[in-house]
Amino acid sequence: MTRRERAAPNCAEDNAFPLSTAVPTGELKAELKRRLEDMTKAAGFDYYLLVAFPRADSTTFLENRIISNWPQNLTDLYDEVDLFYCSRLVGALK
């Protein structure tokens, strides 16, 4: 593939997650999940994953996963074989 595409077109809304400060804290995760599901479906995907950039004190996949709808067996596999820590992409981003 030589052509690069963005998940959102150029000049798309800058705030992909314009979470209102009026949203009660208990509902914030549900609101984030709903918006991620909407964006995932709009982009034509079935699954989403939101992770934190790995720090030295949290190197495993599960420690850095914030929210996802990946099947449990897949998240367990990523954590078990340490694919996140050994990822060339994550290594390059460090």
Other Cβ atoms less than 10 A from the Cβ of 31: the count is 14
- The pLDDT assigned to 62 comes to 85
**Residue 35 · residue 52 · CB < 8 Å:** no
Q: What is the per-residue pLDDT across 47-75, written as a single tens digit (0 to 9) for each?
A: 998 888 777 677 788 888 888 999 999 98
Query: How far is Cα 55 from Cα 64, in angstroms, rounded to an integer?
Result: 9
Query: How far is Cα 2 from Cα 17, in angstroms, rounded to an integer?
Result: 29
Query: How far is Cα 12 from Cα 9, in angstroms, rounded to an integer?
Result: 5
Q: Which residue has the higher pLDDT, 35 or 20?
A: 35
Query: How far is Cα 47 from Cα 44, in angstroms, rounded to an integer?
Result: 9
Of the pLDDT bands very low, low, confident and very high (cuts 50, 70, 90), residue 85 is: confident
Q: Which residue has the higher pLDDT, 87 or 76?
A: 76
- The pLDDT assigned to 91 comes to 75
Question: In the chain, what are the domain boundaries?
Answer: 25-92
